[in-house]
């Protein structure tokens, strides 16, 4: 989507990795290759993610909070919909 974005991220990750290695107090330093892949399918990733979420929604419908529920109960809807998450 953004030209040069993958190379910019790779450059910044390498810089952070080198700085972290220099700051490390360990005597043995491990060399890890850093490679950022710029997927040609990135244009469709939003659609793929949305389709996965729609399939999950069918299975876990009771965990989803609708706008109507939010307007009716506010933040307390979490306590009603997800009692096992919030003790």
Do 20 and 44 belong together in one domain?
no
Could you give the CA distance from residue 40 to residue 32 in angstroms, rounded to a whole number? 25
Overall number of domains in the chain: 2
Determine if the pTM surpasses 0.85: no
Q: Render pLDDT for 53-82 as a digit per residue (tens, 0 to 9).
A: 878 766 777 777 889 989 999 988 888 887
Do 44 and 18 belong together in one domain?
no
Q: How many Cβ atoms are within 10 Å of 14's Cβ, its own excluded?
A: 14
Which tokens hold the place of 24?
């490390």
Do 27 and 45 belong together in one domain?
no
- Domain range for 5 is 1-38
Could you give the CA distance from residue 84 to residue 34 in angstroms, rounded to a whole number? 40
Q: Render pLDDT for 12-50 as a digit per residue (tens, 0 to 9).
A: 988 888 877 766 666 566 777 888 888 788 888 889 888
Do 44 and 19 belong together in one domain?
no
Do 84 and 56 belong together in one domain?
yes
pLDDT of residue 68: 92
Which tokens hold the place of 9?
């991220």
């Amino acid at each position: 989507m953004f030209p040069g974005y993958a190379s910019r991220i790779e450059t910044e990750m390498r810089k952070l990795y080198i700085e972290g290695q220099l700051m490390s107090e360990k005597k043995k330093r491990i060399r890890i290759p850093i490679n950022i892949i710029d997927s040609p399918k990135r244009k469709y990733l939003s659609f793929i993610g949305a389709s996965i979420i729609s399939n999950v929604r069918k299975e876990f419908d009771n965990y989803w909070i609708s706008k109507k529920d939010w307007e009716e109960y506010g933040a307390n809807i979490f306590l009603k919909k997800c009692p096992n998450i919030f003790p």
